[in-house]
Chain A
Amino acid sequence: MQVTIHGIGIVGAFGSGIDAFSEALARKERCTKSVVVQSSSGQKEMPFYRTDTTRLNEFIPRTNLRRVDHYARMGLLAASLALKDSGEVKIRRSRLGIVVATGYGASATTSAFLDSFINEGDTFPSPTHFSNSVHNAAAAHISIFLKASGPCLTVSQFELSLASALLTAMTWLEERRVDFVLLGSVDECCDILSYCWWRFFGEWSKFQVEPFRFGRQSAIPGEGSAFFLLSSPKRNEGAYCNIVDVQTGNMKSEKPSLSEKGLLIVSADGHKQCGKSYREFLGKSTRTVSFTPVYGSFPTNNAFDMAAAALILKRGGTFLPPYAAPQPVISRSKEPLPYEDIDLVQCLKIGMERDFGFITLCRT
């Protein structure tokens, strides 16, 4: 089971579009925005990778977006960018499927719906907030605005959401249920999630995610969306790469099948609890990088790892400057990584309960 990536759309704190992402990786961009968090000792301003979706107006008139919330806007923008990025690829919209991965769904709108009946009483809950609070709201808006009428699915499996969704996208393509799939991730950060974050982890790092300092809690919450236009293996000059395998499992009973030749991108995003599992697994691996300081921590940030992997495989050495790893470390390697000779990249995400998603990509 293999699939080809024809286009990528991505939106995060760094901006929107694959070129903005590429530049952010090159700049080793850090978190510069903040969020006000409610805590027992009053409100605190904390760093946060906030995403701006203003660019969505390039694709959809603003008036049509009045009832579309931030969660769905991120997904809409990334999905629209993925189609645009795929250029000349011809797609019958009735043969275009959508699979969306999300960790927490439309959390802000769920809160807004609760607000509507807490404030106004049970008699006046907001129907707009309710209908947009369902996890598949982003996928629904994407299907409506992009007129994609193939099957449409949303999957929520916390840190394993992307790997799980990818499995279904690959299966759909293999059984020819569709010709193309827009596979994507969407997760947002909001007041209630920030609060939970603070309660679970205390005050978080004010400086930088330090992915390879496994014993230290340095995670900073983020949000964003990444979409990939996938098909069965197809020759296409503009294609990024192929996805050749996806594995899910639990580190307690099995380990991902790591290639000795490739590059490993880990979603180590500064969570001490997950850091232990990464440390154990990475013992034998040498060529390992993490780009989480560019987009922060959220359940589906491995979609951003997958986008980085696709860029490395497509653009090779011309894309990223060497990650010589000044402190704080981004790469475990102290030497510049020779991206141009990499034909295979693997992306590993480990969850809080040691469950993992492992995706292997290679050159077309």
Chain B
Amino acid sequence: MKKNLPIAVTGMGCICAAGAHVDESATSLFEGKRNLRPPSRFKSTRKETYPVFEVPDDFLPAKLRKREDIHLTSKLAVAAAYEAIENAGLSIGQLAKKRVGVCVGTTVGSSMNNEDFYREFRNGGNPDMVPITRYLRSNPASAIAREFLLKGPCQTVVNACSSGTDAIGIGLSWIRSGICDIVVAGGTDELCRVTFNGFISLMITDDSPCKPFDKYRKGLNLGEGAGILVLESERSYQERKGRIRSYILGYGASTDAYHLTAPHPNGEGLRRALKEVMTSCNVQATEISFVNAHGTGTSDNDRVESNVLNELLPGVLFLSTKGYTGHTLGAAGAIEAVFTIACLEMGRIPANAGFSVHDPDLPVSPVKKTTSFQGTIALSQSLAFGGSNGVLLFKRG
């Protein structure tokens, strides 16, 4: 085990409401586009409208769109994996010769919650088993492994909203420990009525475009999508002369052990995760160019993050990209990892969409406009139901 070895990211893919792939999504962010609309794939009997960041059908490649054997969560994951693997310059033949693992985070993707099936069952009917068969075929990590004929370890992380970050952190460990040459790691999730109604029931959903860290923030907007990174050992990318887009320097993780849905009010867990990753990587606050915060737009989350960032990373630029993608749950950490790397490559970060008025209760606020920076290191962090906190530290390749 090479404990603190930086691991190369040689490819990345992303699909979300901001764009069908990484470049399109990044362009949307810097143009300030917010593709928010009422959900189109399901209906709600609520009087109020809660807009979502939905991925348009035509963002998916045609051959994936037509498939009926797997659900949308896995289609999004496979689409992002195609982009990431192609971006890494890897062929199926090359992958077959290496030990390639898959580690993917999700929430909806592992939940047997088909509403139509359940309604018919409840009513004493004999519902068609196709949705259940599809669910059993749709474990996101397995779906990617099947698609690319990968034979290494396969793990679907279901750690609520930090799943994507945690999955990348686990992939990092698999390379460091020599279990894998390559890991396809990331997160994926689709919108559905279950999470839509669930987050509204918790009264943390905004009925207008979300406003992370703003004084008048009212909650989150849900989104969907997938982000995938190709992590690769030094030996593997040197052998094939692969291009390095970024390095992952480290991963910190902790739990609040406090509440099922609320973060610890003092951000205890987040603080420990941040300290862990910075200490283990021997990185000082002054070396960090920016933080891609979890920034959901909920009152509690944003207050905790703002306090912890002010304490541990004073003066460091930060933003939330959820104003462009919505909260994509199990995909969020992975999509934000992709954006973090893209911003490191460009040397600038976009405005924190939705933020305009400083909240006097928050010690620090995010960037209001596109901002350039000089350094090469950035953080991406996720907080989750259950109190999990995950932090990834990246360096420009």
Binary per-residue interface labels of chain A (82-99) against chain B in the complex, 1 for a CB within 8 Å, 0 otherwise? 000000000001100010
Q: A94-B272, A104-B112, A155-B156 are in contact. Are A149 and B256 (CB under 8 A)?
A: yes
Residues in A whose Cβ lies below 8 Å from that of B258: 144
- Residue B283 interfacial (CB < 8 Å): no
Determine the distance from Cα of A94 to Cα of B253 in the docked complex, in whole angstroms.
Answer: 11
Residues in A whose Cβ lies below 8 Å from that of B256: 143, 149
**Contact between A144 and B259 (Cβ–Cβ < 8 Å)?**
yes
Q: Which residues in window 151-170 of B have CB below 8 A to A?
A: 151, 153-160, 166, 170
Binary per-residue interface labels of chain B (201-228) against chain A in the complex, 1 for a CB within 8 Å, 0 otherwise? 1110000000000000000000000000
Binary per-residue interface labels of chain A (137-179) against chain B in the complex, 1 for a CB within 8 Å, 0 otherwise? 1011101101111111111111010001001100110111100
The smallest C-beta distance from A13 to any residue of chain B, in angstroms, reads 22
Q: A113-B198, A131-B261, A192-B112 are in contact. Are A152 and B155 (CB under 8 A)?
A: no
Residues in B whose Cβ lies below 8 Å from that of A148: 255, 257
Residues in B whose Cβ lies below 8 Å from that of A124: 201
**Contact between A168 and B155 (Cβ–Cβ < 8 Å)?**
yes
Q: A123-B46, A157-B154, A158-B136 are in contact. Are A38 and B201 (CB under 8 A)?
A: no
- Residue A115 interfacial (CB < 8 Å): yes
Q: Which residue of chain B has its CB nearest to the CB of A127? A: B201
Q: Which residue of chain A has its CB nearest to the CB of B269? A: A149
Q: Which of B66-74, B117-125, B234-242 binds A?
A: B117-125
Residues in B whose Cβ lies below 8 Å from that of A196: 129, 132
Q: Which residues in window 261-287 of B have CB below 8 A to A?
A: 261, 268-269, 272
- Residue A327 interfacial (CB < 8 Å): no
Q: A140-B385, A143-B257, A199-B129 are in contact. Are A135 and B107 (CB under 8 A)?
A: yes
Which interface class (under 10, 10 to 19, 20 to 34, 35 or more) fits A? Answer: 35 or more
Determine the distance from Cα of A234 to Cα of B160 in the docked complex, in whole angstroms.
Answer: 33
Determine the distance from Cα of A158 to Cα of B177 in the docked complex, in whole angstroms.
Answer: 25
Q: Which residues in window 97-118 of B have CB below 8 A to A?
A: 107, 110-113, 115, 118
Determine the distance from Cα of A280 to Cα of B200 in the docked complex, in whole angstroms.
Answer: 51
The smallest C-beta distance from B227 to any residue of chain A, in angstroms, reads 19
- Residue B247 interfacial (CB < 8 Å): no
Determine the distance from Cα of A157 to Cα of B3 in the docked complex, in whole angstroms.
Answer: 26
Residues in A whose Cβ lies below 8 Å from that of B387: 140, 143-144, 152
Q: A143-B257, A149-B256 are in contact. Are A254 and B151 (CB under 8 A)?
A: yes
Determine the distance from Cα of A175 to Cα of B166 in the docked complex, in whole angstroms.
Answer: 15
Residues in B whose Cβ lies below 8 Å from that of A38: 121, 124
Q: Which residue of chain A has its CB nearest to the CB of B251? A: A177
Q: Which residues in window 166-186 of B have CB below 8 A to A?
A: 166, 170, 173-174, 176-177, 179
- Residue B386 interfacial (CB < 8 Å): yes
Q: Which of A50-58, A245-253, A269-277 binds B?
A: A245-253
The smallest C-beta distance from B200 to any residue of chain A, in angstroms, reads 7
Which single member of B118, B155, B158 contacts A111 (CB below 8 Å)? B118
**Contact between A114 and B3 (Cβ–Cβ < 8 Å)?**
no
Which single member of A98, A111, A118, A164 contacts B153 (CB below 8 Å)? A164
Residues in B whose Cβ lies below 8 Å from that of A199: 126, 129, 132
Q: Which residues in window 211-252 of A have CB below 8 A to B?
A: 248-250
Residues in B whose Cβ lies below 8 Å from that of A262: none
Determine the distance from Cα of A158 to Cα of B154 in the docked complex, in whole angstroms.
Answer: 11
- Residue B254 interfacial (CB < 8 Å): yes
- Residue B312 interfacial (CB < 8 Å): no
Residues in A whose Cβ lies below 8 Å from that of B111: 105, 110, 133, 135
**Contact between B254 and A150 (Cβ–Cβ < 8 Å)?**
yes
Residues in B whose Cβ lies below 8 Å from that of A141: 260
**Contact between B154 and A114 (Cβ–Cβ < 8 Å)?**
no
Which single member of B142, B157, B261, B385 contacts A153 (CB below 8 Å)? B157
**Contact between B198 and A151 (Cβ–Cβ < 8 Å)?**
no
Q: Which residue of chain B has its CB nearest to the CB of A174? A: B1
**Contact between B268 and A248 (Cβ–Cβ < 8 Å)?**
no
Which single member of B118, B155, B260 contacts A140 (CB below 8 Å)? B260
Q: Which residue of chain B has its CB nearest to the CB of A67? A: B260
- Residue B20 interfacial (CB < 8 Å): no
**Contact between A144 and B257 (Cβ–Cβ < 8 Å)?**
yes
Residues in B whose Cβ lies below 8 Å from that of A253: 151
Determine the distance from Cα of A167 to Cα of B197 in the docked complex, in whole angstroms.
Answer: 35
Which single member of B157, B193, B385 contacts A134 (CB below 8 Å)? B385
Determine the distance from Cα of A104 to Cα of B136 in the docked complex, in whole angstroms.
Answer: 10
**Contact between A149 and B202 (Cβ–Cβ < 8 Å)?**
no
- Residue B194 interfacial (CB < 8 Å): yes
Q: Which residues in window 169-191 of A have CB below 8 A to B?
A: 171-172, 174-177
Determine the distance from Cα of A149 to Cα of B267 in the docked complex, in whole angstroms.
Answer: 12
- Residue A122 interfacial (CB < 8 Å): yes
**Contact between B385 and A175 (Cβ–Cβ < 8 Å)?**
no
Which single member of B132, B177, B201, B253 contacts A125 (CB below 8 Å)? B201
Question: Which of B46, B203, B386 counts the most A-chain CB atoms under 10 A from its CB?
Answer: B386
Q: Which residue of chain B has its CB nearest to the CB of A146? A: B257
**Contact between A152 and B159 (Cβ–Cβ < 8 Å)?**
yes
**Contact between A174 and B177 (Cβ–Cβ < 8 Å)?**
yes
- Residue B141 interfacial (CB < 8 Å): yes
- Residue A107 interfacial (CB < 8 Å): yes
The smallest C-beta distance from B335 to any residue of chain A, in angstroms, reads 19
- Residue A360 interfacial (CB < 8 Å): no
Residues in A whose Cβ lies below 8 Å from that of B160: 134-136
- Residue B370 interfacial (CB < 8 Å): no
**Contact between A122 and B44 (Cβ–Cβ < 8 Å)?**
yes
- Residue A195 interfacial (CB < 8 Å): yes
Which single member of B3, B46, B124, B259 contacts A122 (CB below 8 Å)? B46
- Residue A59 interfacial (CB < 8 Å): no
Determine the distance from Cα of A360 to Cα of B278 in the docked complex, in whole angstroms.
Answer: 36
Residues in B whose Cβ lies below 8 Å from that of A143: 255-257, 386-387
Q: A114-B113, A196-B132, A250-B151 are in contact. Are A154 and B159 (CB under 8 A)?
A: yes
The smallest C-beta distance from B218 to any residue of chain A, in angstroms, reads 17
Residues in B whose Cβ lies below 8 Å from that of A176: 3
Q: A167-B179, A175-B173 are in contact. Are A152 and B386 (CB under 8 A)?
A: yes
The smallest C-beta distance from A169 to any residue of chain B, in angstroms, reads 11
Determine the distance from Cα of A113 to Cα of B202 in the docked complex, in whole angstroms.
Answer: 13
A-B contact pairs, 6 of them (CB 8 A): A130-B194, A130-B202, A149-B257, A157-B155, A160-B154, A175-B173
> Which 7 interchain pairs have the tightest Cβ spacing?
A140-B386, A130-B198, A151-B253, A135-B158, A152-B255, A127-B201, A125-B197
Q: Which residues of A contact B (CB under 8 A)?
A: 1, 38, 40, 93-94, 98, 102, 104-105, 107, 110-111, 113-115, 117-118, 121-127, 130-137, 139-141, 143-144, 146-158, 160, 164, 167-168, 171-172, 174-177, 192-193, 195-196, 199-200, 248-250, 253-254, 352, 355
Q: Which residues of B contact A (CB under 8 A)?
A: 1, 3, 44-46, 107, 110-113, 115, 118-119, 121-122, 124, 126, 129, 132, 136, 139, 141-142, 151, 153-160, 166, 170, 173-174, 176-177, 179, 193-194, 197-203, 253-261, 268-269, 272, 384-388
